[in-house]
Amino acid sequence: MKRLFAKGHRVRNRDKLIPYWLATIVALPFILFIGGVAFGLYLKLQNQWMVFGIVVFALVLISALIVYRLYLLLLSRNKFYIHRYREYLLWRFLFQNGLYFTKKSGGNATNTTPRIKFPKVYLKQGKYTLSASFQLEGIKFQDRFLSIGGQLETMFSADMMGSVDDKAFITYNYAIDSIRGRISAKDVIATISEGVKLSEGVYWDFVHDPHLLIAGGTGGGKTVFLRSLLVGLLRLGRVEILDPKQADFVPLNELKVLKGRVTWETEEMGQCLIDLNHQMNERYQLMRKCSKERGEKELGAFYKYDLKPVFIMTDELPSFISALEDLPQGSLVNYMEVMSALKQLTLKGRQAGFYLVIATQNVKADDLPSTIKDNMMLRITLGRVSSYTYATLFGEENKDKKFKYVEKIGANRIFGRGYYGIFGGPAKEFFAPLLPNPKVFDFYTDFESLPRIEEEKIKNQVEEKRFLQAEVLEKLNITRSTLKKIESLLQDNQFPLGGNGYSKKELDLLKRILLEREETGDTLRDAVSNVISTLM
Ligand SMILES: Nc1ncnc2c1ncn2[C@@H]1O[C@H](COP(=O)(O)OP(=O)(O)OP(=O)(O)O)[C@@H](O)[C@H]1O
């Protein structure tokens, strides 16, 4: 039985009657009521036709108004009515576009009206999805059916998710009623296995689709969305926030869970990215070491090693990048090294569990380097954005899609509406988690109670690389006897080197001593004591 209806409702010519019988269902109780009242009045008001007529007319008028309002309400709210009305829409679409066959009625010579017969077209409707299947098999409408998907998308106000061509039929799949799947910001949860829940059935599966790019016009709801993400992210991993606007996120630095993890000065933000890149590389070292110890061939992802994900959230990234370009010479960080760290995090972050969440206003041509843009797998727009932004975020795949800005639904202003799509996939309508009533929930209070997720102490766990003596001699371009002399001078100054090779720190110390000697022209002994004195 299930197989029989696998494709859903078949469109037939009798579907033209759907609006009539839907309206009749609504009107029926009123018709019966008016009939009953009229009959009662008729018995009571014998021969007073005038009064009888006025009362019945008034009743009919009021009932008609109620029926009409009720009918519209059911069409927008009731599942049965909505589904049947869509079936009618599909019938009307096929009919008005001449996508049907006509057959002469046989027998009666006086009846010349041709009979209408529709090709095999089916409509299947689920809670959040809808699919329409069209017969191909060489029928005369085949070519039109192969390109009908976009028109149906507009007709159903749905988002096309793709089509399946199984030779006999082409089936277009759509996402519908995304607003019904909207969740409250307080219900945003994040897990490694599913990702961050953004709406019913919509997840940011960061392990498989790393990095999130959000674009939104002013007042589009970016800040509210970023804070909603924090509800889930702060419970799952470590979050670092860069706030170049120095506005919405700065106060969060006071919270235990984010203390020292919110930066807003350009140099600090740059240093934060450089440090994070460093931490990511250290994490890779740790993972490699553990994997080797376990005798595994595949490195696998961070969660195999009980490591927590790290989310790097940046509001208004382009404004941070342009501030970096303007940094004066001699600043703590420079543009090149910060951008290189950012690119590394984007390219290598997935496996180590470092994920970027980048928010920006409209995307402009040279706003974001393409290495970064092309590796942000989930893209979301919120509110009103330019057509260039849609094209950049959702690409060729969605070039025929009619993106629209919706300001109101009914009488209600809509906030946080936009589109989401995995890079290279179809874009779908999206409703960001709804801001809860501040009397019931506020972000700051929620975050206040959260425990802090500490950085793993990688430094102690990873075996530090040690350089062999030959490597040191080559790197510093000195003789063995000079090296021995420096070592013994260091020993005299209570600064013995570790033995068993040389650490990176020790190598740097040796470099500084040689540099000091070169710059001051002092003896090696003086150079050693000068450098040591700066370390005390
Ligand atoms: N998801 C939402 N649910 C309910 N209201 C929202 C939502 N998103 C935004 N709003 C409303 O819209 C207002 C503006 O949102 P928000 O501050 O997030 O915009 P924005 O994109 O960050 O703007 P800007 O770029 O100018 O800072 C909020 O104060 C809130 O009233």
Report whether 498 belongs to an annotated binding site: no
pLDDT at 154 (0 to 100) = 83
- Tell me what the mean pLDDT of segment 327-348 comes to: 90
| Among 84, 94, 148, residue whose Cα is nearest residue 117 | 94
pLDDT band at 105 (very low <50, low <70, confident <90, very high): low
Test site for ligand 1: of 225, 415, 437, 441, most ligand atoms within 8 A of the Cβ: 415
| Among 95, 73, 180, 167, residue whose Cα is nearest residue 130 | 180
Contacts of residue 246, defined as CB under 8 A and 6 or more positions apart, other chains included, come to: 264
In this predicted structure, the answer to whether residue 375 has a pLDDT above a threshold of 80 is yes
Report whether 220 belongs to an annotated binding site: yes
| Among 303, 300, 280, residue whose Cα is nearest residue 462 | 280
What's the 413 CA to ligand 1 centre distance in angstroms? Answer: 12
d(Cα 198, Cα 200) in Å, to the nearest integer? 7
Do residues 202 and 430 lie in contact, with contact meaning Cβ atoms separated by under 8 Å?
Answer: yes
pLDDT band at 2 (very low <50, low <70, confident <90, very high): very low
Do residues 345 and 202 lie in contact, with contact meaning Cβ atoms separated by under 8 Å?
Answer: no
- Bigger pLDDT: 126 or 233? 233
In this predicted structure, the answer to whether residue 410 has a pLDDT above a threshold of 70 is no
d(Cα 396, Cα 390) in Å, to the nearest integer? 10
pLDDT at 225 (0 to 100) = 96
Dihedrals phi, psi of 192, to nearest 5 degrees: -65, -40
pLDDT at 471 (0 to 100) = 81
What's the 219 CA to ligand 1 centre distance in angstroms? Answer: 5
Question: Taking the CB of residue 394, how many other CB atoms lie within 10 A of it?
Answer: 24
Structure token digits, residue 464? 């530090």
Backbone torsion region of residue 160, taken as left when φ is above 0, otherwise alpha when ψ lies between -120 and 50, otherwise beta: beta
d(Cα 370, Cα 425) in Å, to the nearest integer? 18
Report whether 219 belongs to an annotated binding site: yes
pLDDT at 180 (0 to 100) = 81
Q: What is the pLDDT of residues 279-299, one digit of tens each?
A: 999 999 999 988 888 888 889
Residue nearest to atom 23 of ligand 1 (CA): 219
- Tell me what the mean pLDDT of segment 167-177 comes to: 86
- Identify the three-state secondary structure at position 113: coil
Atom of ligand 1 nearest to the CA of 185: 1
pLDDT band at 363 (very low <50, low <70, confident <90, very high): confident
Ligand 1 lining (C-beta closer than 6 Å): 216, 218-224, 415-416, 432-435
Do residues 280 and 344 lie in contact, with contact meaning Cβ atoms separated by under 8 Å?
Answer: yes
What's the 435 CA to ligand 1 centre distance in angstroms? Answer: 9
d(Cα 459, Cα 285) in Å, to the nearest integer? 10
In this predicted structure, the answer to whether residue 271 has a pLDDT above a threshold of 80 is yes
% of the chain surpassing 90 pLDDT: 53
Average pLDDT, the chain: 88
In this predicted structure, the answer to whether residue 503 has a pLDDT above a threshold of 50 is yes
Q: What's the DSSP call for residue 466?
A: -
d(Cα 476, Cα 217) in Å, to the nearest integer? 54
Buried-state track 244-278, b at ≥16 Cβ within 10 A, e below 16: beeeebeebeebebbeebbbbebbebbbbbbebbe
pLDDT band at 458 (very low <50, low <70, confident <90, very high): low
Atom of ligand 1 nearest to the CA of 248: 27
> Class for domain 464-535, per CATH?
mainly alpha
What's the 415 CA to ligand 1 centre distance in angstroms? Answer: 7
Q: Specify the pairing of strand 238-242 against strand 310-314.
A: parallel
d(Cα 385, Cα 222) in Å, to the nearest integer? 12
CATH 1.10.1660 residue ranges for the chain: 464-535
pLDDT at 358 (0 to 100) = 95
pLDDT at 5 (0 to 100) = 54
Q: Specify the pairing of strand 195-199 against strand 202-204.
A: antiparallel
Q: What is the pLDDT of residues 28-81, one digit of tens each?
A: 999 999 999 888 888 887 778 888 889 889 999 999 999 999 999 999 889 999
C-alpha distances out from residue 34 to 23, 48, 53, 156, 215, Å: 16, 18, 12, 37, 56
Rounded to two decimals, the pTM is: 0.71
Please state the length of the chain.
536
Q: What is the pLDDT of residues 121-160, one digit of tens each?
A: 999 998 888 999 999 988 889 999 998 988 898 888 888 8
CATH 3.40.50.300 residue ranges for the chain: 205-451
Q: Any idea what the Cα angle at residue 515 is, between residues 510 and 518, rounded to 5°?
A: 130
The 3-state secondary structure of 157-192 reads CCEEEEEEECCCEEEEEEECCHHHHCCEHHHCCEEC
d(Cα 216, Cα 381) in Å, to the nearest integer? 5
d(Cα 434, Cα 182) in Å, to the nearest integer? 7
The residues that bridge with 213 in the sheet, in sequence order, are: 358, 379
pLDDT at 1 (0 to 100) = 44
What's the 452 CA to ligand 1 centre distance in angstroms? Answer: 27
Q: In this structure, which topology does domain 205-451 adopt according to CATH?
A: Rossmann fold (3.40.50)
| Among 305, 388, 397, residue whose Cα is nearest residue 352 | 305
